[in-house]
Amino acid sequence: MSPRQTSPATAGPGHALIDITTRPPTVFVEGQGSWLTDESGKCYLDLVQGWAVNSLGHSPPVIAQALARQAGRLLNASPAFHNRPMLDLAQRLVGLSCFDRVWFGSSGSEVNEAALKLARRWGRRMRGGAHEVIAFDSAFHGRTLAMMSASGKPGWDSLFAPMPTGFAKARYNDITSVERAITPASVAVMIELVQGEAGVNLADPGFVRELRALTTERQLLLIADEVQTGIGRCGEAFAYELFGIEPDVMTLTKGIGGGVPLAALLCKESFNCFEPGDQGGTYGGNPLMAAVGLAVVDTVCQPVFLAQVRQRAAFLARGLQAIVHEHGLVAERGVGLLRALALPGDTAAQVVAAARELQPTGLLLNAPRPHLLRLMPALTITEAEIGQALALLRQALRVV
């Protein structure tokens, strides 16, 4: 065989990968806590944390130990059998939340699809075939075809047409628009209590209470997509606790695995209506990931740990507010350790690049919108590290 040529256009570390996004040339080799190291040995303070998945930071000993212990004992007994970590994690989640039943998957899109199927199954049984789900403008629920339909990203309703139908859109924080979207075919409302990908948009507490009352009155399931907000990210185990309401169904992913693929669908007993064969998944509830989830949940959902998250969040918020004043930025907002910084112009991508390129230490940030920076540090970040991050952020803002 003759060696294949690599064209200059595709040269670089990722030339064997299908292009799905523009990645910097950096190759990361190691992570510890809030820090990442690349192949050249340069260190970065990481406020992205795998897109808010590494709730305990990079390679925390508690996860390394849970993985090693479980890997040497039982990797996968099949989703058709019980295993101890799956049972224990389900029990733990039920104990911590207002829900009674749990199904495990591996990604946010997967459990959101499962929530949709559960709602449709319930609608068929209890509401004469009602099946339509009301979701929100600028929502993000995942990248499978149905979740692209459920999401509110501009263009996503036609990008890979034909798209699954059965979704209506309402305006976030506008209860009248939800009322208008309801038809006899409506079965559920699906909402992120904080819209993460849209740029950390917070639901208004009054709106959420009205939404809970409206969905109860009209016999609609209230599905909370807590894929990004759940498991300590917002300073409570679940974001719904901040609003004083109980959803009927909830999905969890990012934080619960602490970096490994683990997702959960939770529901109240009255919506526990899947029939055998309705739902499944090759890796659902595998003991390896469940053992990690158990270690993460047992660490994060301790009252002392959550109180510390709230303290660190307040410290970060104060620091960001100071930067807003110093640099003439628009605003700082967020809940817990999911925060955003609104810039006066569309320079967020430049700030992200400048922060990454800082020497000798880089800072990793995310720009979910052209004028917006998002910060989602490890829940274990220290005040000293927050101070360092704020100093690096100031430098990056000065460069841009």
Ligand X SMILES: *Cc1c(COP(=O)(O)O)cnc(C)c1O
For ligand X (CB under 6 A), the number of binding residues is 15
Residue 151 or 392 with smaller CB distance to ligand X = 151
Characterize 236-274 residue by residue with b for buried, 16 or more Cβ atoms within 10 angstroms of its Cβ, and e for exposed: bbbbbbbbebbbbbbbbbbbbbbbbbbbbbbbbeebebb
Contact region for ligand X (CB under 6 A) — 224-232, 266-274, 289-297, 373-381? 224-232
Tell me the C-alpha distance between 149 and 110, whole Å: 14
* Residue with the CB atom nearest ligand X in the bound state: 108
| Nearest C-alpha neighbor of 112 from the set 290, 313, 299, 254 | 254
Write down the least CB distance from residue 283 to ligand X, Å.
13
Tell me the C-alpha distance between 6 and 257, whole Å: 37
Q: Which two tokens stand for residue 35?
A: 């820090």
Contact region for ligand X (CB under 6 A) — 69-77, 104-112, 153-161, 264-272? 104-112
| 249, 276 contact by CB (below 8 A) | no
Q: Which two tokens stand for residue 330?
A: 């628009």
140 touching ligand X, by CB under 6 A:
yes
**From 225, 236, 332, 385, residue interacting with ligand X (rule: CB under 6 A):** 225
| 383, 315 contact by CB (below 8 A) | yes
141 touching ligand X, by CB under 6 A:
yes
196 touching ligand X, by CB under 6 A:
yes
Q: Is the dihedral of CA 130, 135, 141, 145 positive or negative?
A: positive
Contact region for ligand X (CB under 6 A) — 20-28, 36-44, 101-109, 266-274? 101-109
| 337, 374 contact by CB (below 8 A) | no
Contact region for ligand X (CB under 6 A) — 40-48, 93-101, 139-147, 387-395? 139-147
109 touching ligand X, by CB under 6 A:
yes
H/E element, 44: strand 43-46
199 touching ligand X, by CB under 6 A:
no
240 touching ligand X, by CB under 6 A:
no
Residue 227 or 301 with smaller CB distance to ligand X = 227
369 touching ligand X, by CB under 6 A:
no
**From 57, 60, 79, 108, residue interacting with ligand X (rule: CB under 6 A):** 108
Close Cβ partners of 171 (under 8 Å, ≥ 6 residues apart): 136, 137, 177
Write down the least CB distance from residue 138 to ligand X, Å.
11
Write down the least CB distance from residue 107 to ligand X, Å.
4
Contacts with ligand X, residue ranges (CB under 6 A) = 107-109, 112, 140-142, 192, 196-197, 225, 227-228, 253-254
